[in-house]
Amino acid sequence: MNWLKGMEHPWRFGIILFLLLALVATIAARIVHLHVFSHEFLAMQGDARAMRHIPIPAHRGVITDRNGEPLAVSTPVLTLWANPKELLTDKARWDELARALKLQPAELAQRIENNAAREFMYLERGLTPESGQTVLDLKISGVYSKEEFRRFYPAGEVAAHLVGFTDIDERGREGVELAFNEWLTGVPGKRQVIKDRRGDLIRDVQVKENAKPGKQLALSIDLRLQYLAHRELRKALLEFEAKAGSLVMVDVRTGEVLAMVNHPTYNPNNRRELNPQAMRNRAMIDVFEPGSTVKPFSIAAALATGRWTPESVVDTGNGHFRIGRYTIRDVSRGGLLNLTEVLKKSSNVAISKIALDIGAMPVYSAMQSVGFGADTGLSFPGEQIGQLPMHRKWGEAETATLAYGYGLSVTAVQLAHAYAVLANDGRNIPLSLLRKDRKIAEGEQVIDAKISRDVMGMLRAVVAEPGGGGARAQVPGYHVAGKSGTAKKLATSGGYTQDSYRSLFAGVGPVDNPRVAAVVVIDEPSKGGYYGGLVAAPVFGRVMAGALRMLNVHPDNLPTETQTAVVESAAGGRG
């Protein structure tokens, strides 16, 4: 009956049928339009919901020593992150996730709740790929991973002060890592992938941009010498119960830094309980009064004036010399001393009289020419330049104290550089922390070559001859030259301390064909003595002996019978 009633008004039925047909036609037309005329639009929209561009991490450049031994490398690690909003929907598995991450459940829950409004939070960074995959295999909603790199330092504490370290994002924070950060940093690439709505990878589409790794950096140091210096310096600090120490070795011919160590040191691979004091590269940051180690440059200044010759004699009297209200004293009474004996006995009285005779400016100029009070050009973060005072009017006290190493401040690196200049016939070659390809570098002539050789001969006598104060620096088979120094430390309240010293030794080996300049600084030895010739000189001798052998430097001080045997052996035993 209802159907018959509907037929009473056929026009209504026609309208409904028309509307239904129109709706079907509209839908069909839209489908045809989208699939035929708007295919690219649909594909783009689909890709936008599934296609992703993920970064391809680029590893940081490798740092090596001069022989290619790795000092800093980047190893692949896995970082786990989470979307807190997704984790909040699966609270039942939080305890399971906490156990896998080795966290307390309450700690993890607190972190998730604190970041509830965010879509990103780190769970754990720097995991080994195996450890990270174990967590991912749990298939917990909202937990994801990304590839990263972590810096590793094979030499550990031995090269820590020089190489430095990076932060967790591989940005340089100390040392060479910071100084050459831009050079070492790589450029990440880009990879196109398809992921589902959970973020799981469905298909790796293509690499859009290749990652560019950071550039390699070859340092000038020799890791063999670095280990040698590290061991001997630590041994000396333990023996004399010293507070700290530094040791620097420089290639005389090229200006390359062959070794640079400090104590105390730290392990850059584990910095959880790091003492900031242990991080200081004392060889480049700590400044100190060099004491008697600068007397050779005062002698060079005197020779350069022409008023003094190596045979000139100075009368030290009873070992006391009064200047105004100051009295300069020698440790031992010297009487009449020639210039070699002035250095052998380390006479403050004699060097003061020489300086007063020639005036302050020649002494100042000689010290300035070898790099005191100037930037070394190494561009090391935090490096100090020390102080070389320049007075408008030089008083007698200022002139005398400058000549025997007080009133100015230097770093261990500057002092090593100065001795390298003296050993290189007076040529000043800029220092370098990077390996140089050239075996011999050009330099500026700042001290007359003959004067340099004369002073080197005097320093050879300081080590080789009795009464020179450097006997403990002798190296079997080699002639070496050097000068000890003992400097009182400045007190925080002004003036000098009564019982705190720095023990110093600076020298070169071998004398006939100088190859290595080295400086040893021992800060506050408290047991067994404090004189530089007693504390620092033996360290120099042991390190120089090992270095010359490792570098295959031919001995220049063998007994006659031994030299003959060496020559015959080289000639195959033929007469």
- 338 and 408 share a domain? yes
Separation CA 525–CA 236 (nearest Å):
9
Q: Would residue 317 count as lying in a domain?
A: yes
Give this prediction's pTM: 0.84
As a whole number of angstroms, the distance between CA 555 and CA 553 comes to 6
DSSP, res 35: I
Of 218, 239, 264, which one is at a domain's C-terminal end? Answer: 218
pLDDT digits (tens, 9 = 90+) for 311-368: 999 999 989 999 988 899 998 777 899 999 999 999 999 999 999 999 999 999 999 9
pLDDT at 378 over 80: yes
User: Could you tell me the two tokens for 29?
Assistant: 């037309």
Task: Give pLDDT, residue 324.
Answer: 85
- Confidence band of 272 (pLDDT split at 50, 70, 90): confident
Neighbours of 173 (CB within 10 A): 17
- Over the stretch 521-575, which tens digit does the pLDDT of each residue have? 999 999 999 999 999 999 999 999 999 999 999 998 887 654 444 434 433 433 3
How much is the mean pLDDT over the chain? 88
Cα(57)–Cα(126) distance, rounded to whole angstroms? Answer: 13
Closest CA to 169 of 303, 30, 58: 58
Tell me what percent of the residues of the chain surpass a pLDDT of 70: 89
Q: 291 near 183, Cβ under 8 Å?
A: no
Looking at residue 257, its pLDDT comes to 98
Q: Is residue 59 part of a domain?
A: yes
> Is 114 exposed, middle or buried, given 0-12, 13-18 or 19+ CB atoms closer than 10 A?
exposed
Q: Please list, residue by residue across 458-493, b when 16 or more beta carbons sit within 10 angstroms of its beta carbon and e when fewer do.
A: bbbbbbbeeebbbbbbbbebbbbbbbbbbbbbeeee
The answer to whether residue 231 sits within a structural domain is yes
pLDDT band at 200 (very low <50, low <70, confident <90, very high): low
Instruction: Identify the three-state secondary structure at position 386.
Output: coil
What tokens appear for 122 in the block?
A: 């780190």
Residue after which a domain boundary falls, among 218, 237, 266 = 218
Whether 212 and 228 share a structural domain: no
Do 209 and 305 fall within a single domain?
A: no
166, part of any domain: yes
CATH number at residue 428: 3.40.710.10
Let me know: does 334 contact 345? Beta carbons within 8 Å. yes
In a domain, 47, yes or no: no
Please give the pLDDT value at position 574: 34
- Residue 477, by phi and psi: left (phi above 0), alpha (psi -120 to 50) or beta? left
**Number of residues written out for the chain:** 575
Burial class (CB in 10 A: 0-12, 13-18, 19+), 411: buried
Query: Do 293 and 246 share a domain, yes or no?
Result: yes
CA distance 194 to 52: 6
Residue 200 and residue 272 in one domain: no
Based on the domain organization, do 227 and 165 belong to the same domain?
no
Count of other CB atoms within 10 angstroms of residue 332: 10
In the predicted structure, residue 395 carries a pLDDT above the cut 80: yes
Is the same domain home to 339 and 452?
yes
Return the pLDDT at 337.
Answer: 95
Q: Please check whether residue 14 lies inside any domain of the structure.
A: no
Side-chain-side CA neighbours of 142 within 13 Å: the count stands at 21
Q: How far apart are CA 361 and CA 353, in angstroms?
A: 15
Widest CA span in the chain: 147
**pLDDT grade for 486, boundaries at 50, 70 and 90:** very high
Pair (244, 124) in one structural domain: no
Q: Which amino acid would we find at residue 127?
A: L
**In what side-by-side order are the strands of the sheet with 481-490?**
257-263, 244-251, 516-523, 496-509, 481-490
Which residue has tokens 């005097």?
Answer: 458
Domain stop point among 173, 191, 218: 218
Question: How big, in percent rounded to 5, are the helix, strand and coil portions of the chain?
Answer: 40, 25, 35
Count Cα atoms within 13 angstroms, Cβ side, for 160. 20
Phi and psi torsions of 103, nearest 5°? -115, 160
Domain enclosing residue 525, as ranges: 223-561
In a domain, 27, yes or no: no
Q: Are 233 and 539 in contact (CB under 8 A)?
A: yes
Q: Which residues contact 453 (CB under 8 A, 6 or more apart)?
A: 425
Residue 40: per-residue pLDDT = 64
Residue 186 has pLDDT above 80, yes or no: yes
Whether the predicted pLDDT of 427 surpasses 90: yes
Asked if residue 16 belongs to a domain, the reply is no
pLDDT score at 334: 72
CATH code: domain of residue 186:
3.90.1310.10
Tell me the average pLDDT across 56-64. Answer: 89
Beta-bridge partners for 477:
557
Catalytic residues: 292
Q: Do 291 and 181 share a domain, yes or no?
A: no
Residues 207 and 229 grouped into a single domain: no
Average pLDDT over residues 397-401: 95
Number of helices (H) and strands (E), helices first, in the chain?
Answer: 22, 19
Do 544 and 475 contact (CB within 8 A), yes or no?
yes
Do residues 72 and 124 lie in contact, with contact meaning Cβ atoms separated by under 8 Å? Answer: no
Give SS3 for 486: strand
Give the chain's domain count. Answer: 2
302 three-state secondary structure? helix
- Yes or no: say if 518 and 534 are a contact pair by the CB < 8 Å rule: no
Residue 553's alpha-carbon distances to 58, 69, 515, 557, in angstroms, are 42, 21, 8, 12
Same domain? 447 vs 504: yes
CB contact at 8 A, 543 and 455: no
Position 46 scores a pLDDT of: 56
CA distance linking residue 290 with residue 397, whole number of Å: 17
Whether the upstream peptide bond of residue 559 has omega within 30° of 0, thus cis, is no
> CB neighbours of 3 closer than 8 A, spacing ≥ 6?
none
Residues 427 and 515 in one domain: yes
Give one DSSP letter per residue of 432-454, joined into a string.
BSB--S-SS---EE-S-HHHHHH
